[in-house]
């Protein structure tokens, strides 16, 4: 195959379970972002073949709203961060919604709610599905308190999350109300 000058490509977004586009409207070099896995794919033909790529340079050019999708929890934006809700007003225990790390490097986690008590555990999964405790630094604490879980309404910062494929927040106890845990990941 001879080298091909690419003047314009298309950018697609969808879930890993969605069929990737193909046909004469798909340009060589077009990319597909799987919002639920954080993986990028590129096509070298009319979309008949898609190959995974580590090239995420299209992040800077993709805006939420460019694609018609119903789930925008983990979509890349023009901003250099991705917001995610791990637990949304949870009143019972559970792992909540996992976050696909993708190209993100660090994460700030914010814990709030009406509960009178709670225990929140920070967890990460590797490529084989093994689960590890994440150690975070409590934000606003000049003594650099580190923890793998907390009972406080507070915020924690996690550096070097890119070694994990996904993260989740395990709510192992909650009483007297609800707990919300949100995160902001930075690439």
> Region 154-161: what's the mean pLDDT?
82
In percent, how much of the chain has pLDDT > 90? Answer: 34
What pLDDT, on the 0 to 100 scale, is given for residue 175? 94
Residue 61 has pLDDT above 90, yes or no: no
Residue 95 has pLDDT above 80, yes or no: yes
What pLDDT, on the 0 to 100 scale, is given for residue 63? 37
Residue 58 has pLDDT above 80, yes or no: no
Residue 55 has pLDDT above 80, yes or no: no
Q: What is the DSSP letter of 174?
A: E
| Tens digit of each residue's pLDDT (9 = 90 or more) over 74-90 | 444 444 778 899 999 99
Residue 52 CB-density burial (10 A; 0-12 exposed, 13-18 middle, 19+ buried): exposed
Select the more confidently predicted residue: 131 or 9.
Answer: 131
Residues 6+ apart with CB under 8 A from 170: 93, 94, 95, 96, 120, 121, 123
Going from the N-terminus, what domains does the chain have, and what CATH number goes with each?
1-75 (no CATH), 81-186 (2.60.120.510)
What pLDDT, on the 0 to 100 scale, is given for residue 76? 44
> Region 93-117: what's the mean pLDDT?
91
Residue 99 has pLDDT above 90, yes or no: yes
| Tens digit of each residue's pLDDT (9 = 90 or more) over 10-35 | 777 777 888 888 887 888 788 887 77
Would you list the DSSP string of 9-61? --EEEE-TTSPPP-STTSPTT-EEEETTTTEEEEESSSSS-EEEE---GGGGG
Tokens 């924690």, located at residue: 156
First to last CA, the chain: 35
> Region 83-99: what's the mean pLDDT?
94
Residues 6+ apart with CB under 8 A from 130: none
Select the more confidently predicted residue: 71 or 88.
Answer: 88
Beta strand 50-53 pairing with 166-175: unpaired
What pLDDT, on the 0 to 100 scale, is given for residue 130? 95
Question: In DSSP terms, which residues pair with 34 in a beta bridge?
Answer: 14, 39
Query: Sorting pLDDT into bands at 50, 70 and 90, what band is 67?
Result: very low
113: part of which helix (H) or strand (E)? strand 106-113
Select the more confidently predicted residue: 84 or 160.
Answer: 84
- Calculate the dihedral angle through the C-alpha atoms of 119, 122, 126, 130, rounding to the nearest 10 degrees: -20
Residue 97 has pLDDT above 90, yes or no: yes
């Amino acid at each position: 195959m001879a080298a091909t000058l690419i003047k314009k490509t298309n950018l697609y977004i969808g879930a890993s379970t969605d069929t990737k586009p193909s046909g004469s409207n798909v340009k060589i070099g077009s990319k597909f972002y799987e919002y639920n896995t954080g993986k990028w794919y590129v096509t070298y033909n009319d979309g008949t073949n898609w190959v995974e790529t580590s090239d995420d340079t299209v992040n800077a050019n993709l805006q939420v709203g460019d694609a018609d999708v119903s789930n925008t929890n983990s979509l890349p934006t023009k901003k250099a961060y991705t917001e995610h809700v791990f637990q949304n007003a949870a009143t019972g225990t559970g792992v909540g919604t996992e976050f696909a790390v993708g190209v993100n490097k660090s994460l700030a986690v914010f814990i709030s709610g009406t509960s009178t008590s709670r225990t929140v555990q920070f967890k990460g999964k590797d490529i084989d599905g093994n689960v590890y405790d994440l150690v975070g630094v409590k934000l606003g604490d000049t003594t650099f308190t580190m923890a793998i879980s907390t009972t406080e309404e507070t915020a924690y910062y996690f550096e070097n999350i890119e070694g994990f494929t996904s993260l989740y927040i395990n709510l192992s106890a909650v009483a007297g109300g609800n707990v919300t845990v949100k995160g902001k990941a930075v690439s």
